[in-house]
Amino acid sequence: MSKNRMLLLLFLVAFLTITFTGQGLFSVKGAEGTSLPDENISELMEKAEQGDEDAQVNLGIMYKYGQGVPQNYSKAVKFLSLAAKRGEAKAQFHIGTLYDFGRGVPKNYSEALKWYQMAADQGHASAQYNLGIMYANGQGVPKNISEAAKFFRMAAEQGDAGAQNNIGFMYEQGQGVTQDYSEAMKWYRRAAEQGFARAQYNLGVMYANGQGVPPNYSEALKWYHMAADQGHSRAQYNIGTMYDNGQGVPQNYSKALKWYRMAADQGHTRAQNNIGFMYEQGQGVTQDYSEAMKWYRRAAEQGFARDQYNLGVMYANGQGVPQNYSEALKWYRKAAEQGIAEARYNLGVMYANGQGVPQNYSKAANLFHMAAEKGHAGSQNNIGLMYEKGQGVTQNNKIAYIWFSLAATNSSGELQNNAAEARDRVAKKLTPEQLRKAQKNVNERKPKKQN
């Protein structure tokens, strides 16, 4: 390959590492069911009309969920309001959820907050939990993470698993409380032991990362399995990566693929990406570009940038599909808009070479420059070439020297050799003062060593 020719790097990127991040705050609770009362509906109705609070609450909940009666939010509001106004905490909680979700009444966070607060003041755990969510999200009240933590803790201390998970997450992240991995572990464990899948997953992440405990892949795998058996897609994905990488278990691509499929079938984009990569590489399966394309497309259509890029590569190379530069351009653009440097680089090459588009050095230079600023070595080399030759930019040997130097630093192999040769070539065209200033600029751009 000529050292001055634009370099087209087409390669696939897969995420074959564990998502070692906790899963955040659980959403508002709208459900808190009730067992069907022994009385028939007419008896309950008569008692409710006579002011029996239990009957009003039971009828309201039955109409809310359609238990034993046709679902009717308006009737739910009617009966729950009667009991809520008389101070019945369960009714206050449920009327709060109806305002929260806009069922039978216009959606109104302020009204929801009012009713939750009344129920929470009486120690109603689910209302305390929902208040925590509203303060965390700034719904009906200014956002206040410390207040959210306060209400989550109240509910958590009453054994609410969702609140225990959420206060654990806040300790893990240092949100509204001082970061404390040991406290996070404590609360995750309490929720996990109640079978709360998200907390089981988060506990697995803590063991995998060694946060609050020594790293322990076996314990991580145990908790991931508990969550995965309940259909938790992130846990399924992480089990797949552990088999893929041989972390805590012998490396086994077939088992990795099994777990990836479980997560991918639920729409988990990284799992879909990894299945595509395994079919592209023939890991644990027979190499099949068409199957790789299928899985990359599923993730790409959900907006997963790396697989938008991978689809572009497959179309550019004609792998699993006929070669199609127009389709390659389409997917590269989508990935580039999300900041994928390799996509910007490949788009730049296509504009520079006139592949699927009219040749346009100015657009090529702009794309190379954006990727180069992100540290992409091939783009740094190519923008250096364009400054050296004055293609799409004003010719400038000093700027060319800077980009060639950075490319040589950030690369290896043939690209490093080409960039170093080009750097030395343009250095001969600079005055000593120009060279000194260029070298100073390069040094300022290089990553600083940590003390």
Tens of pLDDT, residue by residue over 368-405, are 999 999 999 999 999 999 999 999 999 999 999 999 99
Task: Please indicate, yes or no, if residue 237 is contained in any of the structural domains.
Answer: yes
pTM, full prediction? 0.85
d(CA 70, CA 60): 12
Same domain, 398 and 339: no
**Is a pLDDT exceeding 80 seen at residue 158?**
yes
Task: Please indicate, yes or no, if residue 387 is contained in any of the structural domains.
Answer: yes
Mean pLDDT along residues 97-125: 97
Same domain, 355 and 379: no
For the chain, what is the domain count? Answer: 2
Tell me the residue range of the domain where 432 lies. Answer: 375-451
d(CA 218, CA 231): 20
- pLDDT, tens digit, 9 for 90 and up, residues 274-287: 999 999 999 999 99
Residue type, 105: V
pLDDT band at 22 (very low <50, low <70, confident <90, very high): low
Task: Please indicate, yes or no, if residue 257 is contained in any of the structural domains.
Answer: yes
Same domain, 339 and 389: no
Same domain, 350 and 395: no
- pLDDT, tens digit, 9 for 90 and up, residues 43-82: 888 999 999 999 999 999 999 999 989 999 999 999 999 9
Rounded to whole angstroms, what are the CA distances from 181 to 70, 136, 248, 375? Answer: 47, 20, 22, 34
**Is a pLDDT exceeding 90 seen at residue 207?**
yes
pLDDT band at 36 (very low <50, low <70, confident <90, very high): low
Give me 180's structure tokens.
Answer: 């404390």
In contact, 198 and 190? CB cutoff 8 Å? no
Task: Please indicate, yes or no, if residue 184 is contained in any of the structural domains.
Answer: no
In contact, 125 and 158? CB cutoff 8 Å? yes
Residue 219's CB is within 10 A of a number of other CB atoms, namely: 17
Same domain, 221 and 297: yes
Spacing of C-alpha 169 from chain mean position: 16
Mean pLDDT along residues 229-253: 97
Helices 233-245 and 197-209 cross at an angle (nearest 10°) of 30
Express as a percent the part of the chain with pLDDT over 90. Answer: 88
In contact, 398 and 438? CB cutoff 8 Å? yes
**Is a pLDDT exceeding 90 seen at residue 19?**
no
- Start-end of H helices in 122-144: 125-137
